[in-house]
Chain A
Amino acid sequence: MKILVCLSNVPDTTTKIKLNGDQSALDMTGVQWVINPWDELALTRALDLKEKSEGKIDTITVITVGESLTEPTIRKALAVGADDAVRINLNPTDDYEVASNIAAWVKNNPYNIILTGIESSDYNGSAVGGMLAEFLKIPSVSSVSFLDMEGDKPLMKREIPGGTETIRVPMPFVAIVQKGIALDPRIPAMRGIMMARKKELTVVEPAGEGSKSTYIGFAMPKAKAKVKMIDAENAGQLITLLHEEAKVI
């Protein structure tokens, strides 16, 4: 059995967002690039599953659509245990382009399970998983917080508003995972870092469709008015203010 984990390369989540002079682009100088946190959780779960699968899961491949600057995060995925990696050499413009290009790879290199994070922490797209499944005409399951193998059959839980559903779909499928799927991401060990040197990172040229959308400008959110402090002794006054002034209760 083979698992594919889709990785997005994003600025570290503590990055302070800055715009360039004419607000036409984000200022990415000095940004530290990391694996998108949800994708990293997906990878963590894939590794957990492989380790306890007693050989039933043969390989975990990671795939990224990006230019060479994404390679450090790909190497990290290899260092924590992914078996091999694919990089589609393209700086993508939107989710459509990403999904279409991954689909083009998967059509010739099939996998049993494909995992993506529910969204990326940069452009908050949350569409790659669903689009990829549609391009491949295979099932997709969203908001997956649990994935395990019951014998040869994967079992999932998805988070619905106010609860969970336990569901199953036939392989191959795309699971779009969210928090809960795995605990903390793994820290690469020296041994893993050494082994990552020898693992295969295949670079392929794009073979999918182009983008359907593009960012043409950016803006920072409006500055908030200064906080109104309420004396702790008269904390109850807050309720009155919320009713009369803010009108939210």
Chain B
Amino acid sequence: MSVIVYTENWDGKFKKSSYELVSYAHALASELGVETIAISIGQVPEDQLNALANYGANKVLCVKNPELAVLDNAAYASAIARAAKANNAQVVVFANNFTGKAVAPRVAVKLEAGMANSVTTLPLSFSPFVVQKNIFNGKAQGNLQINSNIKVLSLAQNSFGVKESSVSLTIENFDAQLDSSKFNTELIEKNTVSGKIILTDAELVVSGGRGMKSPDNWGPLEELAAILGAGTACSRPVADEGWRPHSEHVGQTGKVIAPNLYIALGISGAIQHLAGVSSSKVIVAVNTDPEAPFFEAADYGILGDVNKILPKLVEAAKAFKAHS
């Protein structure tokens, strides 16, 4: 019996979110009294794999079938489902991220499992098995009872946190026995922006809205983000106007993020925007309008023209970094 957790790697490395996921799976496995087994796909150095022990993984299954070189949703699902069956998994845990969304639903069907995504807590009860998850983009929480024998969960980012718990870990290779003729996702081109902080991973996010007045005013915002090591984001009108790329748009129809810190500069806080950021741990709102809804959702607020306030923040951030 086991809890299986799919730990994704990026160029052979795990991220904090991977550790959060293992921490969660371990907590779940402890409650169930079973093993925590991580699945890793592709080439990952041994020191990286060993690090998973620090968060409670008892075993890592390394899957290196060539069919998995490119993300083919069906192939990944086959591999993970096979591992889950071979290890008598009770629960399979994914991150509620790009890969999780692509693969978890297929795994659920293969295992005839009920699925809950964007889960925010450990199960409220195990019999029946009930988890809490975000609904309406975090505007409410739903308690979902899963009735199948096996359960598939995907965890909302930053909802559980990284928890250390050292166990001893074994590394095993696992042959997923894939039939290559069945999988044919053809990768034609890959475009990645290097060096840039990936918005959905970012711990800190600095975001601009229409109150920035002009796309030419983004310099100080980017400078602040660079000093803090933050990702940059924007509101929908700004993306629609073409001031910023759509990839930066956060909100109901854009990206949904949950960083530790979200600084909203000149964004009024329309309900659709808040839906994309309300799970952030700390929110700062800067706006000229004292009635801006963002002040209701924020932890810290500054009333004033963002273009006058930004230089002060940049200066303070510089001083802070110089001293720390």
On A, residues with C-beta under 8 Å from B are 13-15, 17, 19, 26, 37-38, 94-96, 99, 118-119, 121-131, 133-135, 137, 139-143, 155, 159-170, 176, 179-180, 211-221, 224-225, 227-232, 235-243, 246, 248-249
Q: Is B211 an interface residue (CB 8 A)?
A: no
Find out whether the CB atom of B272 lies under 8 angstroms from the CB atom of A228.
Answer: no
Q: A127-B115, A162-B196, A227-B300 are in contact. Are A217 and B143 (CB under 8 A)?
A: yes
Known contacts being A133-B106, A227-B298, is A17 close to B309, with CB within 8 Å?
Answer: no
Please tell me which one of the listed residues A124, A161, A212, A215 contacts residue B97 in the complex, with CB atoms under 8 A apart: A161
**From DSSP, what is the main secondary structure of chain B's interface residues?**
mixed
CB pair B73 A140 closer than 8 Å = yes
**Interchain CB contact under 8 A, A139 and B98:** no
Query: Given A94-B114, A219-B143, A241-B300, does the pair A168, B101 have CB atoms closer than 8 Å?
Result: no
Q: Give me 11 other A-B pairs in contact (C-beta within 8 A), A133-B73, A155-B188, A229-B302 excluded.
A: A15-B136, A127-B108, A134-B105, A176-B101, A216-B145, A219-B143, A230-B300, A232-B302, A236-B312, A236-B319, A237-B316
Are the C-beta atoms of A13 and B252 separated by less than 8 Å? Answer: yes
Instruction: Give the CA-CA distance A200 to B73 in the complex, in Å.
Output: 34
Q: Tell me the nearest residue of chain A to B255, going by C-beta.
A: A179
Contacts A232-B309, A241-B300; is A127 near B117 (CB within 8 Å)?
yes
A96 and B114 contacting across the interface, CB-CB below 8 Å: yes
**Given that A17-B139, A215-B144 are contacting pairs, would A248 and B106 also be in contact in the complex, using a CB cutoff of 8 Å?**
no
- A130 vs B96: C-alpha distance when bound (angstroms): 14
A38 cross-chain contacts in B, Cβ below 8 A: 253
9 shortest interchain CB distances as A-B pairs: A130-B105, A212-B114, A236-B316, A163-B192, A232-B304, A142-B102, A127-B105, A213-B114, A134-B109
Give B88-127 as 1s and 0s: 1 = Cβ < 8 Å from A's Cβ atoms.
0000000001100111111011101111111000000000
Residue contact A224 to B184, C-beta cutoff 8 Å: no
Interface string of B274-315 (1 = CB under 8 A from A): 010010011011100000000111111111100011001101
A238 touches B316 (CB 8 A): yes
Give Cα A179–Cα B234 distance, bound, in whole angstroms: 14
Which of B41-49, B167-175, B197-205 has 4 or more CB atoms under 8 Å from chain A?
B197-205
Q: Pick 23 A–B contacts, CB within 8 A, sort by A.
A: A19-B140, A121-B137, A129-B105, A139-B73, A139-B184, A141-B73, A143-B102, A160-B98, A162-B193, A179-B253, A212-B112, A212-B115, A212-B147, A232-B308, A235-B302, A235-B313, A236-B313, A237-B316, A238-B284, A241-B300, A248-B261, A248-B281, A249-B320
B315 to chain A, nearest CB (A): 6
**Residues of the B chain whose Cβ atoms lie less than 8 Å from the Cβ of A133:** 73-74, 106
For residue B161, give the distance in angstroms from its CB to the closest CB of chain A. 13
Could you tell me if B109 and A135 are in contact, using CB atoms closer than 8 angstroms? yes
When chains A and B are docked, how far (Å) is the Cα of A216 from the Cα of B145? 6
Q: What's the interface size class on B, roughly?
A: 35 or more
Which of B102, B132, B134 is within 8 Å of A130, CB to CB? B102
Give A227 to B231 CA distance when docked, in angstroms.
23
Tally the A-B contacts, defined by beta carbons under 8 Å: 275
Q: Which residues of B come within 8 Å of A, CB atoms?
A: 10, 70-74, 77, 97-98, 101-106, 108-110, 112-118, 130, 132-148, 183-194, 196, 198, 200-201, 204, 228, 246-247, 249, 252-254, 260-261, 271-272, 275, 278, 281-282, 284-286, 295-304, 308-309, 312-313, 315-317, 319-320, 324
Question: Which residue of the partner chain A has the closest CB to B137?
Answer: A124
Name which of B147, B285, B299, B301 has the most chain A CB atoms within 10 A of its CB. B299
- Select from chain A the residue with minimum beta-carbon distance to B313: A235
B138 to A221, Cβ gap below 8 A?
A: yes
Q: Are A140 and B146 in contact (CB under 8 A)?
A: no
Contacts of A248 in B (CB 8 A): 204, 260-261, 281-282
Q: How many Å lie between the Cα of A159 and that of B246 in the bound state?
A: 11
* B247 engages A159 (CB within 8 Å): yes
A117 to chain B minimum Cβ distance, whole angstroms, is 10
Q: Which of B104, B105, B193, B295 contacts A163 (CB 8 A)?
A: B193
Query: How close is B255's CB to chain A, nearest CB, in angstroms?
Result: 8
- Residues from chain B with Cβ under 8 Å of A164 in the complex: 190-191
* Bound Cα distance from A217 to B144, whole angstroms: 7
Q: Which of B115, B138, B147, B271 has the most CB of A within 10 A?
A: B115
Set A99, A169, A242: member contacting B186, Cβ < 8 A:
A169
Min CB gap A201→B, angstroms: 27
Quick one: closest A residue to B300, CB to CB? A228
How close is A97's CB to chain B, nearest CB, in angstroms? 10
* Chain B residues near A17 (CB-CB < 8 A): 136, 139-140
Give complex CA distance A19, B272 in Å. Answer: 20
Whether the Cβ atoms of B190 and A123 lie closer than 8 Å is: no
Select which of B113, B249, B275 is within 8 A of A212 by beta carbon. Answer: B113
Whole-angstrom distance from the CB of A159 to the nearest CB of chain B? 7
The docked-state distance in angstroms from the alpha carbon of A170 to that of B315 is 54
| Contact call A14/B302, Cβ cutoff below 8 A | no
In the assembled complex, the CB of B140 is this many whole angstroms from the nearest CB of chain A, namely 5
Least Cβ–Cβ distance between B126 and chain A, in angstroms: 14
